[in-house]
Structure 1
Amino acid sequence: MNIMLTNVVDAVVGSISYYLFGFAFAFGDGSNSNPFIGTSYFALKDIPSTTYDYSYFLYQWAFAIAVAGITSGSIAERTQFSAYLVFSFFLTGFVYPIVAHWVWSSSGWLSPSSSELLFGSGAIDFAGSGVVHLVGGIAGLWGSFIEGPRVGRFDAFGKPVEMRGHNATLVVLGTFLLWFGWFGFNPGSFDKILVAYPDSTDQGNWTGVGRTAVTTTLAGSTAAIVTLFGRRLLIGHWDGLDACNGLLGGFVAITSGCSVVEPWAAIVCGFVAAWVLIGLNILALKLNFDDPLEATQLHGGCGAWGLVFTGLFAKEEFVIQAYDSGDRGVTRPYGLLMGGGWALLGAQVVEVLVIVGWVSLTMGPLFYGLHRLGLLRISVDEEVAGLDISKHGGYA
């Protein structure tokens, strides 16, 4: 009941928060807009209809509410519901939209569509490895760290105690639903799908849509296979839930560069993403860090790798397709390992660093303040009884 309610809250509270504040902070282009924050005008009504319409708001809202959902996994099973309402509203209405403005608004200082490109390139984060997943992962990192592990997660000697999820069927079902949804997340991020390329009327931005779906599929599939076999070597048996998390880790990583890399590069992306996830999970246990859904490791770690990956493997032709509508004679920085120099990789690393810094400076104090006020974590007795029975009137 608790987890289902938090997912509903992500949608309903996120709707109001993003309508009142978030969308304007992210994409507002009024007189107060600048490279660091959009217009502070109140509500969607102040966004010029000639620039964005209501469907664009709804599309961006879907990205926004995903961020809070990521963070909720890190603080699951031990968080007061009132604290969840506070952080979900703040994250969706302010913290995430600022990052979205930096990278996705045409006036953002990190944007690859800006008139003043960082390092002559801008950071390529096509569908949000950094903007969505790294933001949610770092917020979850601070929430989980400040709350501390669940009761019983580690024994008196600091050794991890296995706490299995109770419904693997729903995990697998949710994984397939996310796989389907990612085809809207990544291929759907082409803003103007029906734009024809100059001097090539038989091609347009739609040529990248299919490729983006393929790279997404290959990265996720590779990560799932590698995670499955890697974990088999480490724990001695096949684990379907590990494969599910590996699949999602591959999707998270490819989300940044899905439109600008070759399919073979997507396989490289998924292969490394699997080991990033496995390695960070091992490190988390050694540090007694308890993230029930591995959200910090999966979304934060694989999201950061995805940004770096794009700086290494982006292909110039595809960068021009995605960000210059295939214009002839345009040159842009592209992947370092593809011969494109250091500019794009530098911009990608800057995005990683500023997201980690911004989210830490905003969400860290918020979680700490809630903790000091006694509003963050439930009591030990309530946690042992279970949030469903202690806070929500019964089991699902």
Structure 2
Amino acid sequence: MRKRVFSLLLVLAFLSVGFAQDGVTDVGWSLDMVWILISAALVFFMQAGFAMVESGFTRAKNTVNVLMKNLMDFAIGSVVFFIFGYWIMFGKHPLTFDPSTKEGLWDFAMWMFQMAFAGTAATIVSGAMAERTKFPAYLAYTGFITGIIYSVVGRWIWGGGWLAQKGFIDFAGSTVVHSVGGWAAMIGASLLGPRFGKYDSQGNPKPIPGHNIPLAALGTFILWFGWFGFNGGSTLAGTNGAIGMIILNTNLAAATGALAAMVTVWAKYGKPDASMTMNGALAGLVAITAPCAVVSPVSSLIIGAIGGVIVVFAVEFFDKVLKIDDPVGAISVHGVNGAWGTLAVGLFAESKYALASGMGDVNGLFFGGGVHQLGVQFLGVVSVFAWTVVTSFLVFWFIKKTIGLRVDRDIELKGLDIEEHGMEGYADFEIFTTR
């Protein structure tokens, strides 16, 4: 009974915070405010998921470095996004938010939600560049991607820019967040070059196993959980009844992404590889992020499954064909599947689902809508790819020519934890092998 009373009081407290402007209580507005802030917290918690996945998929000697990059890209991104990133995206500066009005109070919550998304785009890059990037170089880059590269794309699509005016749909960020992070990761990893020992003298890739698969699995579950706020929160309204549909679609795509990746890698290599299966779940989540509010649950199953298959072949393509060393598969999961999910809007969108979530009357190619929406989605994918690749290249190239992008060979072989941070991720532990 005490727990029930406490829960009721907690709910009433949420509903009463900041909602009695001039003595008037607006319960709907209150619920919207609470929902967007809970969603912002869920998306922020995804930073922990990325940190666990990236550190688990890399070697123990670089654990501290990976964790520090995930911590600092959100810290630096928060400051940069406050100073000018949000203004670029939405044309309104946080310094102008008015706490004496409901609109001003909503702006504070909206900033926090959007900041959590910006942090996600930045942290995607760290995984692909893991184990050989100078820490100061990464710090310099993360401010640019959050404050400029990401924010400009956000302006185009979510801030009423030219792609939004053409009818481009990216409900929760397959392109705005994930493709931006994925394509930036591709450029960074390309300019860095592969880790020492990744390729043999004939150019064939050699596996460099991650040191802690349980940690990576924990990160995958955290990301899956956080994605319910990522996609569901993008309604920006707790009173929007489509939240349940959106979260259902999100979960189904993750599930079929994991299943399809497992089956594909099992058939291809003879073993149900755990790391690829985890990436399959993440690929399904990335793919459904753009269309989650405009497609049916059945379509979500298909979109996620295709994403799971794509990620297996994409990882192999970047690894073996392009010789881009991506320790965690970030390019394939976020860049490639971000593009796939965005195009899926133009294929699978159905008006009854789009109307239910407030996205308008839109049908994709497979549901009688013709090729128009698919063409708009393709234009957005190509435009964002071009913008991100060019700007990321310029920033990484400048960093490489000034402070330097990659650590020395000896530092890389010894591990970045000791040389860059003066500590180990697993101090006082020693691994012994027996024959």
TM-score range with shorter-chain normalisation? Answer: 0.7 to 0.9
Report whether the alignment pairs 1:66 with 2:101.
no
TM (normalized to structure 1)? 0.87
d(CA) in 1 for partners of 2:163 and 2:67? 35
Matched with 2:394 is 365
Aligned-residue offset at 1:232: 1.0
d(CA) in 2 for partners of 1:158 and 1:24? 46
Matched with 1:169 is 214
Aligned-residue offset at 1:373: 2.7
Matched with 1:108 is 161
Report whether the alignment pairs 1:285 with 2:319.
yes
Q: Secondary structure at the match of 1:367?
A: helix
d(CA) in 1 for partners of 2:389 and 2:222? 30
Could you tell me which runs of 5 or more consecutive residues in structure 1 were left unpaired when the two chains were aligned: 30-42, 112-116, 195-204, 325-330
d(CA) in 2 for partners of 1:178 and 1:361? 29
Q: Tell me which of 295, 313, 317 is aligned to 1:261.
A: 295
Q: Secondary structure at the match of 1:186?
A: helix
Q: Tell me which of 11, 16, 22 is aligned to 2:79.
A: 16
Report whether the alignment pairs 1:134 with 2:184.
no
Report whether the alignment pairs 1:46 with 2:96.
yes
Indicate if the aligned counterparts of 2:349 and 2:362 stay in contact, CA closer than 8 A: no
Aligned-residue offset at 1:374: 5.1
Could you tell me which runs of 5 or more consecutive residues in structure 2 were left unpaired when the two chains were aligned: 1-63, 426-435
Matched with 1:32 is none
Counterpart code for 1:131: V
Query: Higher helix share goes to which structure?
Result: 2
Aligned-residue offset at 1:169: 1.1
Report whether the alignment pairs 1:307 with 2:364.
no
Counterpart code for 2:416: L
Aligned-residue offset at 1:89: 0.5
Matched with 1:228 is 262
How high is the sequence identity, in percent, across the aligned residues?
A: 38
Aligned-residue offset at 1:356: 0.4
d(CA) in 1 for partners of 2:198 and 2:96? 48
Aligned-residue offset at 1:47: 5.2
Q: Tell me which of 307, 314, 319 is aligned to 2:354.
A: 319
Counterpart code for 1:22: G
Report whether the alignment pairs 1:209 with 2:243.
yes
Aligned-residue offset at 1:108: 1.6
Aligned-residue offset at 1:368: 1.3
Report the count of equivalent residues.
Answer: 357
Q: Secondary structure at the match of 1:323?
A: coil
Cα 1:47/1:28, change in 2 over 3 Å: farther
Matched with 2:381 is 352
Indicate if the aligned counterparts of 1:252 and 1:303 stay in contact, CA closer than 8 A: yes
Structure 1 segments (4+ residues) deviating >4 Å: none
Matched with 1:91 is 145
Matched with 1:33 is none
Counterpart code for 1:360: V
Indicate if the aligned counterparts of 1:103 and 1:110 stay in contact, CA closer than 8 A: yes
**Aligned alpha-carbon RMSD (Å):** 1.4
d(CA) in 2 for partners of 1:300 and 1:46? 35
Report whether the alignment pairs 1:82 with 2:111.
no
Matched with 1:25 is 88
d(CA) in 2 for partners of 1:373 and 1:169? 38
Q: Secondary structure at the match of 2:163?
A: coil
d(CA) in 1 for partners of 2:298 and 2:354? 16
Quick check: 281-290 or 376-385, which moved more? Answer: 281-290
Measured against aligned partners, the alpha-carbon deviations of 1:273-297 in whole angstroms (never above 9, x if no partner) come to: 1121111111112221101111111
d(CA) in 2 for partners of 1:169 and 1:279? 24
Cα 1:188/1:6, change in 2 over 3 Å: same
d(CA) in 1 for partners of 2:297 and 2:342? 17
Measured against aligned partners, the alpha-carbon deviations of 1:227-263 in whole angstroms (never above 9, x if no partner) come to: 1111111222122221111000000000000011000
Counterpart code for 2:174: S
d(CA) in 2 for partners of 1:381 and 1:273? 38
Matched with 1:327 is none
